Amino acid sequence: MGKFVNSIEEFFSFCQENDVKYVDLRFTDLKGTWHHVTYRASAINEDNLTNGFPFDGSSIDKWQPINKSDMILKADVPTAFLDPFTADPTIIIFCDVYDIYKGQMYEKCPRSIAKATLKHAESLGIADAAYFGPENEFFVFDDVRVIDNINEAGYKIDTEEGDWNSNTHYPDGYNSGHRGGVKGGYFPVAPIDTQVDLRAEMMDVLEQVGLEVILGHHEVAQGQGEIGIVFSDMIGAADNVQKLKYVVKMVAHLNGKTATFMPKPLFGDNGNGMHVHQSLWKDGKNLFYKEGNYANLSEMALNYVGGIFRHAKALASITNPSTNSYKRLIPGFEAPSILTYSMQNRSASCRIPYGAGEKTTRIEMRFPDSTACPYLAFSALMMAGLDGIKNKTVPVGPMDEDLFELSLDEIREKGIPQMPHTLREATEALIADNEFLRPVFSKTFIDDYQHYMFERQIWPDESRPTAYEFKTTYSC
């Protein structure tokens, strides 16, 4: 699949051919949430497509103050595609944000930061292309209920695949009994896999919006799935994450279900990750490939991995930016919390995919998750990797033993570094270690980002008692 339009002229022709009535302008905030404003197609012209559309930046969390709220959305016209869900023909366009006060692309716009990252890499003369392939896992549930009050808190999730429903009496009086159980969801066919048709619909719609879909399958946990799409350049890959999350959630919603990319919604079962495949290229050559080396990895690739590992604690605040993220990064659930690399080994933070040749050799960072803003996550990973190349940082490894079985004591004894254990630890690391980001992430961005993490995630979570705390401390 490719672009639907390549120019403003083609955009108007495409709109006319498809009887488009509305144009939906979309942009992304610090936490990766997609926002939009919808124009009548009749209000769109060459001038505003070129020069931009005004909007209020003060209403977006941690963006502009109210006395400097006016900002501009700059449409990236070749990203346009038809919304498959609206009643009236609507075309969606990805936008970047422009700062009218500084006369430049907005320093807090994630998509603009990603573009600046690519320009920075080119300016260093290291690479002229960067390819990213994210793998976003998700859950599909039948019902989700949440309580968050001053005197009560809790949640209840349900899926017909849940082992807890083995003795449920359903209204029609029928319980199939076909369930994979905890960690039993990897690849069983229907009727254990109840999401075959739902994933197929998701895959079809993803193709409609321009993604090239490879496969879909049930994942390890109850109610969990994954859809694989073809890699892209860094901006395209991040755009594709936004499309994929939108389509997966909407297809589930229209089928009377609810989809989530939350890292750890189920206690005691596997969580959702966003494994990120990466490679750097120059003049059509894969810079990460060196035949005969371990896993055919070049020295540059190892240094790139070394840079990511060196800054992993700080990176985690961006690649794993929720308190729930760290409930996934614990031993025992294929969670890649050990900072080493390995060929084929899925329990290492960096896996080198099996059988990769010159065109397909790449690294796969397995610790990020989908609560991350994809533009920020990919940019931060790349900046850490470039720092590793600059400083020739050597990562711990390779380690091909079964890291999955190592205890925390054994990990410490072997001197293997680990991911941070909490969002607080990660964010404090970012405060202390951010110089590697600073060529493209401004001081203002870092300051506002860390304040957002504390104010919206860390402090609210730390101040709330949990059900488990009542179980362990109420009778003390």
Paired tokens of 287? 């810079």
57-71 core/surface letters (b: 16 or more CB in 10 A; e: else) = beebebbbeeeeeeb
40 marked as part of a ligand binding site = no
Catalytic residue, chosen from 96, 161, 269, 364, is 364
Does the active-site annotation cover 56? Answer: yes
Q: Is 366 annotated to bind ligand?
A: yes
- 410 included as an active-site residue: no
Q: Which of 10, 24, 76, 135 is catalytic?
A: 135
Show the tokens assigned to 317: 């605040």
Contact status, residue 120 vs residue 385, Cβ threshold 8 Å: no
275 catalytic? Reply is yes
Among 137, 193, 269, 387, the active-site one is 137
CA distance 74 to 256: 35
Whether the Cβ atoms of residue 342 and residue 397 lie closer than 8 Å to each other: yes
What tokens does 15 get?
Answer: 């709109």
User: Is position 178 annotated in a ligand binding site?
Assistant: no
Q: Is 236 annotated as a binding residue?
A: no
Which of 83, 99, 193, 219 is labelled catalytic?
219
Active-site hit among 310, 366, 369, 424:
366
How many CB atoms neighbour CB 99 within 10 A?
19
| 268, 221 Cβ separation under 8 angstroms | no
Q: How far from 272 is each of 32, 106, 136, 224, 320, CA to CA, in Å?
A: 16, 31, 7, 8, 11
Cα distance between residue 288 and residue 275, in whole Å: 18
59 is in an annotated binding site: no
- Is 271 assigned to a binding site? yes
279 labeled part of a ligand binding site: yes
The yes-or-no answer on residue 137 being catalytic is: yes
324 belongs to an annotated ligand binding site: no
Residue 129 bridge partners (DSSP): 281
Choose the catalytic residue: 275, 311, 351, 362: 275
CB contact at 8 A, 222 and 266: yes
342 is in an annotated binding site: no
Residue 270 annotated in ligand binding? yes
The pair phi, psi for residue 154, each rounded to 5°, is 165, 175
**Polymer length of the chain:** 476
Instruction: Tell me: is residue 410 an annotated ligand-binding position.
Output: no
User: Is 161 one of the catalytic residues?
Assistant: no
Query: Exposed, middle or buried by CB within 10 Å (0-12, 13-18, 19+), for 154?
Result: exposed
The one-character DSSP state at 99 is E
417: nearest Cα among 353, 362, 349 = 349
424 flagged as catalytic? no
What pairs with residue 229 in β-bridges? Answer: 213
Answer for the pair 280, 304: CB distance below 8 angstroms, yes or no. yes
Clarify whether 438 is annotated catalytic.
Answer: no
Query: Among residues 56, 413, 455, 462, which one is catalytic?
Result: 56
Going 307 to 448 to 244 to 143, the CA torsion angle's sign is positive
Residue pair 182/222 in contact (Cβ under 8 Å)? The answer is: yes
Active-site choice (83, 99, 107, 226):
226
> Is 364 labeled as catalytic in the residue annotation?
yes
Q: Is 137 annotated as a binding residue?
A: yes
| Count of C-beta atoms within a 10 Å radius of residue 169 | 9
Burial 174-194 (b: 16+ CB within 10 A, else e): eeeeebbebebbeeeeeebbb
Say which of 120, 346, 421, 456 is annotated catalytic. 346
- Asked if 113 and 89 count as a contact pair (C-beta separation under 8 A), the reply is no
428 is catalytic: no
Catalytic residues: 56, 135, 137, 219, 226, 275, 346, 364, 366
Please give the annotated binding residues for Mg(2+), written as ranges. Answer: 135, 137, 219, 226, 275, 364
Known binding-site residue numbers for ATP: 277-279, 346, 359
Pick out the residues of the known binding site for L-glutamate.
270-271, 328, 334, 346, 366
Q: Which residues are annotated as a binding site?
A: 135, 137, 219, 226, 270-271, 275, 277-279, 328, 334, 346, 359, 364, 366
